[in-house]
Structure 1
Amino acid sequence: MGTTKQIESVSSVLKVFGILQALGEQQEIGITDIAQRLMMSKSTVYRFLQTMKTAGYVSQEGDSEKYSLTLKLFELGSKALEHVDMIALADRQMRSITKKTGEALHLGAFDDDAIIYIHKIDSRYNLRMYSRIGRRNPLYSTAIGKVLLAYRPEDEVRQILKNIEFIAHTQHTLKNLDAFIEELAKVRQEAVGEDCEEQEEGLRCLAVPVFDRFGVVIAGMSISFPTIRFDIARRDEYIAMLHEAAATLSSQLGYHDYPSYHHVTA
């Protein structure tokens, strides 16, 4: 039974993409034409088109049976392309820092109610942070998560995290939303997010924001250290390297007013 359902699901996905392709090849096309082209019943084509219309990917010409694509697929493709461009530009900056420090660099983006790693450069040391591209981590206990939210209005941050349970990954993890909001004020002032063993015992991270041409933080760039290799005396040096890299990347993305670093004493 499970195999049959899986085959049906795959078949349905293929039909959807077939309809999208047919719509993409012709500005306006009717149900009958699509059904004949794809060798599907008109009722099946109609059902899929109505679902895609509800989702916003297809528009219907009045009460006729003519359908066309909306710009929603273009918007999705543009977002993916933006990340691809950003990753290619970020790679050179990140590799430069890893070459100087030997430590791991990560690029993370906002994904619903978490961060997702979209690029990384591994540490040259055997003792290193475990990570992989595509891995998700909480916003509230990661340096990247902090810089991704620090420049958003407080009410928006509260809305994003309203259903999030603040799990104590370690004894250092922030305990609630109010504590997190308070932490974000410091992040904005320094233009630096810091994870002091909040996500994982024995691991520290520093992160800085990456801005797009509209001044919106679209990513965070971080450096990660096992605590035994983190030299607090070099903290400002690490931050300066990150800021230089992120400012260069932000400039390449069209933003030229990168914030200055102001050390905040505890």
Structure 2
Amino acid sequence: MKLQKKTNIVQSVDRAILILEVLEKSPEPLGVTEIGNRMDLHKSTTFGLLHTLENRGLVIQDKENGKYKLGLRLLEFGEKVRERINLRAQAKPFLKQLVDEYQETVHLVVKTDNEYVYIDKVEGPQAIRMYSQIGKRALMHCTGVGKSILAYLPDSELKGILNNIKLTSFTPNTITTLEQLKEQLQRIRLQGYSLDDEEIESGLRCVAAPILNYNGEAVAAISVSGPTTRMTYERIKELVEPVKETSLKISSTLGFKIK
């Protein structure tokens, strides 16, 4: 069967990926010439690609013999992919249970860089629903799930984010100063949950809680969300414990030990 020629391929990126595939298939580290010969590339081109991959931790060069092997950064990528795939599957029954019991939309998000991304959503049966989309990114300072994740990050990672965070205002309730944000994060750590009280969108409230890994660090969060006409403060109080309990159940599937 004749393969169709693909368009819009960036040659240098394609070659870099092929280098990783060559190293993945080789039981032993390979030198620049060996890799170049297997790919029919000039030595200087191969070296430039390897140097770039090494700079990003995707390959490692043995300083004694000059040969290359796959880098540990790839293992980190694989762990993130595995964690997210497993997390979605493991969390699904718990998310459905929350929706069945409380009839509101439930979200599952994971941290990515200085934002979070929706990886699952279970719609409630109510007539008025939220617009949200799996794969969509959002900011962390103005949402319940975002603040839950921030509150349980390692101090060094949190400091890096706070040093670069842009506290964009979306509503009169949005946090716009670092002092306010830090105070809220401290409160969230003490109580184990967070709120979005019309902070990213007027007329919308949610209660959220972090999902923790075996180190007690936040890798994700869940939320129950809805319009303020249904998500009254009394309703929020009713949802706090179920959301916290659900997040802990999901956390336990990642190795988190409840003390």
TM-score, normalised to structure 2, is: 0.89
Residues 10 and 154 (structure 1), Cα distance of their counterparts in 2 relative to 1, 3 Å cut = closer
Q: Distance in 2 between matches of 1:188 and 1:73?
A: 32
Q: Distance in 2 between matches of 1:153 and 1:64?
A: 38
Q: Are 1:11 and 2:4 an aligned pair?
A: no
Q: How many aligned positions are there?
A: 252
Residue identity over aligned pairs, in percent, reads 34
- Whether the 8 Å contact between 1:158 and 1:177 is mirrored in structure 2 is no
Q: Report the Cα offset of residue 67 of structure 1.
A: 1.7
TM-score, normalised to structure 1, is: 0.87
Name structure 2 gaps, 5 residues minimum. Answer: 1-6
Q: Distance in 2 between matches of 1:126 and 1:44?
A: 59
- Whether the 8 Å contact between 2:109 and 2:117 is mirrored in structure 1 is yes
Aligned partner letter, 1:222: S
TM superposition outliers: structure 1 runs of 4+ over 6 Å: none
- Whether the 8 Å contact between 2:152 and 2:216 is mirrored in structure 1 is no
SS in 1 for 2:134: coil
- Which residue is 1:3 aligned to? none
- Which residue is 2:202 aligned to? 201
- Which residue is 2:3 aligned to? none
Q: Deviations over 1:74-110 (max 9, x none)?
A: 2210121011111111111001111122211111222
SS in 2 for 1:105: strand
- Whether the 8 Å contact between 2:154 and 2:217 is mirrored in structure 1 is no
- Which residue is 2:130 aligned to? 129
- Which residue is 1:42 aligned to? 43
Residues 92 and 186 (structure 1), Cα distance of their counterparts in 2 relative to 1, 3 Å cut = same
Name structure 1 gaps, 5 residues minimum. Answer: 1-5, 259-266
Q: Distance in 2 between matches of 1:78 and 1:134?
A: 19
- Which residue is 1:106 aligned to? 107
What does 1:14-163 align with in structure 2 at a 5 Å threshold?
14-26=14-26, 27-62=28-63, 64-152=65-153, 157-163=158-164
Q: Distance in 2 between matches of 1:25 and 1:154?
A: 39
Q: Distance in 1 between matches of 2:159 and 2:24?
A: 40
Q: Distance in 2 between matches of 1:51 and 1:184?
A: 38
Q: Are 1:244 and 2:245 an aligned pair?
A: yes
Q: Report the Cα offset of residue 22 of structure 1.
A: 0.7
Aligned partner letter, 1:21: E
Q: Distance in 1 between matches of 2:176 and 2:29?
A: 55
Aligned partner letter, 2:15: K
Q: Report the Cα offset of residue 126 of structure 1.
A: 3.6
Residues 253 and 158 (structure 1), Cα distance of their counterparts in 2 relative to 1, 3 Å cut = closer
Q: Are 1:212 and 2:207 an aligned pair?
A: no
SS in 2 for 1:228: coil
Aligned partner letter, 2:23: L
Q: Distance in 2 between matches of 1:37 and 1:153?
A: 43
Root mean square deviation of aligned Cα: 2.0
Aligned partner letter, 2:24: G
Q: Deviations over 1:157-195 (max 9, x none)?
A: 343122333222001111211011111222122211000
Q: Deviations over 1:40-83 (max 9, x none)?
A: 22221111111112222212233645221122212210121011
- Which residue is 2:230 aligned to? 229
Q: Report the Cα offset of residue 143 of structure 1.
A: 0.4
- Whether the 8 Å contact between 1:106 and 1:120 is mirrored in structure 2 is yes
Q: Report the Cα offset of residue 152 of structure 1.
A: 4.0
